[in-house]
Amino acid sequence: MNEEAIKQELINKFPYLQEAITIKRKGRIFAQVPADKFDAVFAYAVKEMRFAALSAITGLDRGDGVFEVIYHLNQEGRILLNLCVGLEKDKLAVNTVTAYCPSADIYERELEDLLGIKVNGLAAGYRYPLTDDWPQGEYPLRKDWKGNLASKEVPDA
Amino acid sequence: MHDSGDVKIPIGPQHPALKEPESFLISLRGEKITASSVRLGYNHRGIEKACEARTYTQDIYLIERVCGICSHSHSTCFVQAVEEIAGLDIPARAKYLRTLIAELERIHSHLLWLGVAGHEIGFDTLLMYTWRDREVVMDILAALTGNRVNYGINTIGGVRRDINAKQKEEVLKAMDILETQTKYYIDLAQNETTLLKRLQGVGVLSHDDAQRLGAVGPTGRASGIDRDTRKDDPYAAYGELDFKVISVNNNDVYGRTLVRLGELMESFNLVRQVIRKLPEGAISVKAPRKIPAGQAVSRYEAPRGEDLHFVRSNGTDKPDRVKVRAPTLANIQSVSKMLEDRYLADMPIVVAAIDPCFSCTDRMVALRDTQNRKKNTVPWETIRLKGIKWYKDKGVDFASLNKKLSASF
């Protein structure tokens, strides 16, 4: 299945993706998926289209009140399907995908630690990558985070 | 899951069995591991955030320092993404030179691993031999780039140094020496009892588990996953070169050894091809200072597996977001599976077998009290008490362990 066929299958199954899928180049497909439809699209890509390997999850703050989470899925190492979901700053939450991809665990902890995006359903465990005594509400990858912790409690180690 | 009836042993973040800071909590019944969990983040330096405040050119040098072993992997992965967004078509000679450094880096990294593996199983002669031989390739890297570890060869638009005829000869001579030595190590791996007994059946990761847990690189290929970004999603000059992807179905530490030894032989072959086919021409094209708005995902087969960088640009001279996913982060999740039902004594070699690089993975934040303008200096006793409390909160009480030990003597 080539890039065009993958795009077409996604559009046939989810017509609302008609204008949302871009083939950037050979082996790189980007799809912007509405937040309320994301779980269904992700499940279909993993289970029905053999995009079973999760290479990484990228979280980012666009700086305009919208955050994005990009799931980089690959099909047997060859084609990368990048499923992007936009989140409003006052609704920063996604559901865990660990049921489909157990390897998502550590990437999802990173989303919570560095950007403050809540991952619903993520099992209890160690935080990653920040320290246990990192101040609450400080998310280093947010655009408005300047690293000045002077007014906050400064960890003693 | 950790069972409350088992003995829990914290190993790390600083521990003689570990080469880098990471923390394992091991549950033991007798000598057997019943459960394990790993804690990372001790090497987190905020590099991704730092990239957003620096220009693309400055970021090359920052990204190169994500890792001291596979520095070229990260810098190449990063510049590839930026070049893609900028629409730059880099010269063929630059692609070949990037490939040359990439394979020399793989050779030094795999030889380094073989030595560490020897050390972890008490076979330090192997460590001495392999690290002696590794100096051959380190000298070549230093001669070609000026540096032993952070090569500074990449720039956006190509490479910064060319190679001359005399250097080509030196590279080919080095490959002959290293090939002879590697054949000796392959023979050793197939016949030396110490290696066979200590590596076979240790750290088992089935094909299905490797796939489910997203194992990459030699860790995945030793469990029958024949994926290699150089072949599957070619970059630099790999699309024009002939090489085999080495995979085996041993599913254990021995398999991971065979894969790396096989890959060394393929790397010698690739280096020779690069020298033979090296195209004439420029080594770089001029790149714009400001990169147009866009995004790209770049992949690279680092010595430890698939390295992935995501870059989003905003039309300025600084990136909006740089994401680095190093191969160890993809492989660390397999370690708990490999340790299941194994003896505690196997732990160092099992962890070492994924060739972990936690510097890559965690990519420290030093805190300064800006009101008092001084660094927080913490006395040793405070750290010790904090450590004891930290473990006590996690269910490991050293005070009660000490009492138990005293009572048993």
B144 plus B279 within the same structural domain: yes
Residue A42 located in a structural domain: yes
Claim to verify: residue B146 and residue B264 sit in the same structural domain = yes
C-alpha to C-alpha distance for A80 and A102, rounded to whole angstroms: 18
Name the residue facing A106 among B306, B310, B333 (closest C-beta). Answer: B333
**Reported confidence tier of residue B384, pLDDT bands at 50, 70, 90:** confident
Q: Of residues A43 and B350, which shows the higher confidence score? A: A43
CA distance A60 to A68: 5
Confidence of residue B366 (pLDDT cuts 50, 70, 90): very low
Structure confidence by residue, pLDDT tens digits, B312-341: 999 999 999 999 999 988 898 898 899 988
Is residue A24 situated within a structural domain?
yes
Do residue B382 and residue B354 come from a single domain? no
Q: Yes or no: say if A141 and B50 are a contact pair by the CB < 8 Å rule.
A: no
Q: How confident is the model at residue B18 (pLDDT cuts 50, 70, 90)?
A: confident
> How sure is the predictor about B381, in pLDDT bands with cuts at 50, 70 and 90?
confident
In a domain, A147, yes or no: no
Determine the Cα–Cα distance for residues B65 and B71; give it in Å rounded to an integer. 6
Shared domain check, B386 and B313: no
| CA neighbours closer than 13 Å in the CB half-sphere of residue B390 | 16
- Residue B391: pLDDT band (50, 70, 90) is confident
Amino acid found at B129: Y
Q: How many domains does chain B have?
A: 2
B contacts of A58 (beta carbons < 8 Å): 310, 321, 323
pLDDT level of residue A71 (50, 70, 90 thresholds): very high
Is B11 contained in some domain? no
**Same domain for B346 and B391?**
no
pLDDT of residue B207: 96
| Residue B302 belongs to some domain of the structure | yes
pLDDT of residue B349: 87
Read off the pLDDT of each residue in B298-307 and give the average, rounded to a whole number: 97
Binned at pLDDT 50, 70 and 90, residue B408 comes out as: low
CA–CA distance, B325 with B298 (Å, rounded to integer): 11
Say if residue A56's pLDDT is above 80. Answer: yes
Distance from CA of A16 to the nearest CA of B (A): 23
pLDDT in tens, A5-26: 999 999 999 999 999 999 999 9
* Chain B positions in Cβ-Cβ contact with residue A70 (cut-off 8 Å): 310
Could you tell me if residue A116 is inside a domain? no
Q: Are residues B331 and B189 in the same domain?
A: yes
Higher confidence at residue B371 or residue B297? B297
Is the domain of B213 the same as that of B181? yes
What pLDDT is recorded for position B393? 81
Q: What ipTM did this prediction achieve? A: 0.94
Q: Which amino acid, one-letter code, is at B360?
A: C
Which chain B residue is nearest to residue A126, measuring alpha carbons? B39
Residue B25 falls within a domain, yes or no?
A: no
pLDDT at B21: 85
Q: What is the mean pLDDT of residues B124-144?
A: 95
Instruction: Give a yes or no: residue B315 inside a domain.
Output: yes
Please tell me whether residues B321 and B282 are part of one structural domain: yes
Find where tokens 């995006």 sit.
Answer: A117
Residue in A72, A129, A147 nearest the CB of B44: A129
Question: In the prediction, which pLDDT does B360 show?
Answer: 60
Q: A86 vs A18, A91, B31, B296, B342, CA distance in Å?
A: 17, 10, 49, 17, 44
Tell me if A117 is assigned to some domain: no
Please report whether residue B69 resides in a domain: yes
- Measured CA to CA, the distance from residue A3 to residue A61 in angstroms comes to 28
- B146 and B275: one domain? yes
Give the pLDDT score at B367.
44
Range of the domain at B327: 47-361
Lowest pLDDT segment from A82-96, B21-35, B196-210, B304-318? B21-35
Residues B246 and B110 in one domain: yes
- pLDDT digits 0-9 by tens, B259-279: 999 999 999 999 999 999 999
Task: Give the range of the structural domain holding residue A51, as residue numbers without chain letter.
Answer: 3-105
Within-domain flag for A50: yes
A58 domain residue, yes or no: yes
Q: How high is the pLDDT of residue B300?
A: 98
The closest CB to that of B49, out of A55, A106, A140, belongs to A140
> For position A25, which CATH number holds?
3.30.460.80
User: Is A21 domain-assigned?
Assistant: yes
* Contact yes or no for B260/B110 (Cβ under 8 A): yes
Assign residue B319 a region (left: φ > 0; alpha: ψ between -120 and 50; beta: otherwise): beta
Q: Which of residues 107-126 of A touch B (CB under 8 A)?
A: 107, 125-126
Q: For position B100, which CATH number holds?
A: 1.10.645.10
pLDDT, greater one: B330 or B158: B158
Residue A31: predicted pLDDT: 98
pLDDT for B301 equals 98
Residues B259 and B385 in one domain: no
Domain count, chain A: 1
Q: What was the pLDDT predicted at B14?
A: 84
B400 and B288 in a single domain? The answer is no
Looking at the complex, does the CB of residue B336 fall below 8 Å from at least one CB of chain A? no
